[in-house]
Amino acid sequence: MNWRKAVALIVAFLILVTLHYTIRPLLGWRASIDFLVIAVLLLSVRMRPGAAALLGFLTGLVSDSLTPATLGAGALAMSVVGFAASWLRAVIFADNVVLHAFFFFIGKWAFDLIYLVVARGAPPLELLAQAGVWSPLSAALTAAAGVFVMLAYRMTLDPQHA
Amino acid sequence: MARAVRASSRADTVVLIACVFASVMLTILPSGARDQVASVLRETVVQPVLALQRTAERGRNAILEREGLARRLDSLTLASARLSELELENQRLRRMIGLGEGLRTGFVVAEVVHTQSLGDEHTVTLTAGRDKGITQRSIVVAPDGVVGMVTTVDATSSLAILWTHPDFRVSAQSAGSNVLGIVRPHTGGEGERYLLELTGVAFRDSLNPGTLIVSSGLGGRYPAGIPVGTVIGEIKTSESWARTYVVRPAVKPQDVTTVMVVQPERLGNGVANIWPKPVDTAGRVVRDSAAKADSASRAAAVAKADSLVRARLRSGDTPKTSIIPRKPPL
């Protein structure tokens, strides 16, 4: 990875983090788009698994700091998702929009499931509804946004892949 | 080469295990310690992110509250409209109290009940009658001036004619110059119905627009000094030996809600000093402004006098009358 690509990725990452803390609260949907997952996945596939896990850990920690009751849960989930994404990079390198969408969907859902299991805050029934209904919905929205972000990234910041 | 890859892969796994371990440690921390860690993060690296989220949530709240705010604004606008009515009412009552203090004795305060029946708009019912000492032909006044006269007195109420009544007459004079005449309702068209006429003014005398007309005291019914109205302009009539002026009344009938009925015995003491002197009223304003103004502002002052009457005269639908606006005094 040359330095221009690295800068482009960092810019994209920062934009996504900003979107996560502006668009998400503004929309206020229950099944919301997780821009942090998109950001981590976008970078993870271009990093070594260890670095991706570290990036996921730090990003999750930032997210957790706003919900101290579940501190660590997001970091753990994001570390695993980042590591797995980097490890499965061969899948994402296939230039297939559906595969990309599936990748974002699985990434977000996996994040939510790990988070819910580790956080253990909600009653079982609510946990089940969250994992079975709201998380997949949120994952679907995240997948749609992720594909859009991926295409936008390739067209603007990484035109060689467009 | 294969060894290097294996070593690298092992390092990745170690990092992952470290991250997972750190995360698990964070989750099992006591809540106090967790709060501390979160607090340190919020105050340092997460602070810009937190500020962003706060701004976004404010934006969302603003969007959500917009409709509620619009509703509240509508309610406030309605309330403020009512408030202005109350302020006007308050002002009227204050002036009424002021008039009461001027008269001191010999008057009865009454509320006005406007009759809504067609063709009877010149008569009002007063909420005071014989029980309050009101007698027939008592004069009815308001802080602005003459309102009318009591015609019928019942036990607890009475009827009064307004100055718009065709039978209403008051002997009047111009404040300051003592030009005499008789004031009666102006018998013009629909738009001019709520104006007065000062008739029988000697041909040698002339009045300028804005001159205050007050009761003269002649005839014994209305004491001298009660404001009747202000001159708008002269009209031409078939009476070539006398001048007639259109007068804007001091009191608008529709605005009258509370009046004072002055008892006959009070009239003997005079009321001239109770209402403001002519110099304090519209006449002075017109004179002062006209004195400073050039011809254009004079024309504007005259134009203010009464657009309705002049418009009608310009259209020429009543050849009998025409207003000749006079130059305001310098």
Q: How confident is the model at residue B183 (pLDDT cuts 50, 70, 90)?
A: very high
**CB contact at 8 A, B281 and B273:** no
Of B78-87, B107-116, B240-249, minimum mean pLDDT range: B107-116
> In degrees rounded to 5, what are phi and psi of residue B244?
-130, 135
What b/e string do you get for B81-101 counting C-beta neighbours within 10 Å, with b at 16 or more?
eeeeeeeeeeebeeebeebee
Does residue A53 carry a pLDDT above 90? yes
Yes or no, beta carbons of B16 and A79 under 8 Å apart: yes
Closest chain A CA to residue B49: A21
Q: Is B232 helix (H, G, I), strand (E, B) or coil?
A: strand
Give CA–CA dist A41/A35, Å, rounded.
10
Q: Chain B contact for A18, CB < 8 A?
A: yes
Tally of CA atoms within 13 A in the half-sphere of B186 that contains its CB: 29
- Rounded (5°) CA angle B155-B263-B105: 115
Q: Which residue is listed with tokens 């753990």?
A: A76
The HSE-up count of residue B25 (CA atoms within 13 Å, CB side) is 8
Half-sphere exposure of B56 (CA within 13 A, CB side): 17
ipTM above 0.85, yes or no: yes
In chain B, whose CA is at the least distance from the CA of A62?
A: B46
pLDDT at residue A41 is higher than 70: yes
Length, in residues, of chain B: 330
- Residue B119's contacts (CB-CB under 8 Å, 6 or more residues apart) are none
What residue of A is the nearest CA neighbor of B25? Answer: A72
pLDDT tens sequence across A77-101? 999 999 999 988 755 556 678 888 9
Confidence of residue B292 (pLDDT cuts 50, 70, 90): very low
Say whether pTM exceeds 0.80.
Answer: no
Identify how many contiguous H helices and E strands chain A contains and give both numbers.
8, 0
* pLDDT exceeds cutoff 70 at B119: no
Angle, CA of B314, B315 and B317, to the nearest 5°: 120
Q: Do A72 and B23 touch (CB under 8 A)?
A: yes
* Selection from B80-84, B105-109, B154-158, B244-248 with the highest mean pLDDT: B244-248
pLDDT at B324: 44
Mean pLDDT of B84-98: 80
Q: Which two tokens stand for residue B302?
A: 């005259």
Percent of chain B exceeding pLDDT 90 equals 11
pLDDT at position B303 over 80: no
pLDDT at position B213: 92
Residue B315, pLDDT > 70, answer: no
**pLDDT at res. B192:** 64
Chain B interface includes A146 (CB < 8 A) = no
Phi-psi region of B161 (alpha: psi -120 to 50; beta: other; left: phi over 0): beta
pLDDT for the residue B296: 44
Please check the confidence at residue B310 and state whether its pLDDT lies above 90.
no
What pLDDT, on the 0 to 100 scale, is given for residue B318? 44
Other Cβ atoms closer than 10 A to A94: 10
Region A3-25: mean pLDDT is 89
Are the C-beta atoms of B174 and B211 separated by less than 8 Å?
yes
- Does pLDDT of A73 surpass 50? yes
Euclidean distance between CA atoms B303 and B327, whole angstroms: 11
Closest CA to B317 of B305, B306, B308: B308
Q: Side-chain half-sphere of A2: how many Cα atoms within 13 Å?
A: 3
CA–CA gap between residue B102 and residue B96 (Å, rounded): 10
Q: Contact at 8 Å (CB) between A153 and B62?
A: no
The C-alpha atoms of residue B156 and residue B173 are separated, in whole angstroms, by: 35
What's the residue count for chain A?
A: 162
Q: Pick from B15, B27, B46: which is nearest to A72 by CB? A: B27
CA distance B12 to A50: 4
Cβ–Cβ contact B14 with A under 8 A: yes
Comparing alpha-carbon positions, the chain A residue that sits nearest to B40 is A65
A83 CB within 8 Å of a chain B CB: yes
Q: What pLDDT is stored for residue B224 in this prediction? A: 85
Q: Does any CB of chain B come closer than 8 Å to the CB of residue A115?
A: no
**Which has the closest alpha carbon to B143: B229, B278, B250?**
B250
pLDDT top residue among A145 and B218: A145
Q: Is A25 on the interface with B (CB under 8 A)?
A: yes
Asked whether residue A56 carries a pLDDT value surpassing 90, the answer given is: yes
* B218 confidence band (pLDDT: 50, 70, 90): confident
Q: How many helices (H) and strands (E) does chain B have?
A: 7, 13
Phi, psi of A148 (to 5 degrees): -60, -45
User: Among A74-88, B269-283, B303-317, whose mean pLDDT is lowest?
Assistant: B303-317
pLDDT of residue B294 exceeding 60, the answer is no
- The shortest CB-CB distance from A71 to any of B8, B13, B26 is to B26
Contacts of B36 (CB under 8 A, 6+ apart): none
Dihedral sign of CA atoms B119, B124, B130, B135 in order: negative
Pairwise CB contact (< 8 Å): B29 & A50: no
Query: If you average pLDDT over every residue of chain B, what do you get?
Result: 78
Contacts of A159 (CB under 8 A, 6+ apart): none
CA distance linking residue B102 with residue B95, whole number of Å: 10
Average pLDDT over residues A119-140: 86
B8, B24, B26, B41, best to mutate vs chain A, most A CBs in 10 Å: B26
Say if residue B13 is exposed, middle or buried (CB neighbours under 10 Å; 0-12, 13-18, 19+).
middle
Q: Does A70 touch chain B (CB under 8 A)?
A: yes
Of B15-24, B139-148, B178-187, B198-207, which one has max mean pLDDT? B15-24
Mean pLDDT to the nearest integer, A27-37: 89
Partner residue facing A50 (CB), from B11, B53, B57: B11
pLDDT of B16 reads 93
- For residue B16, list chain A residues with Cβ-Cβ distance below 8 A: 49-50, 53, 79-80, 83
Alpha carbon separation from B190 to A159, B186, B275, B309 (Å, rounded): 80, 11, 31, 11
Residues 6+ away with beta carbon under 8 Å from B236: B244, B320, B321, B322, B324
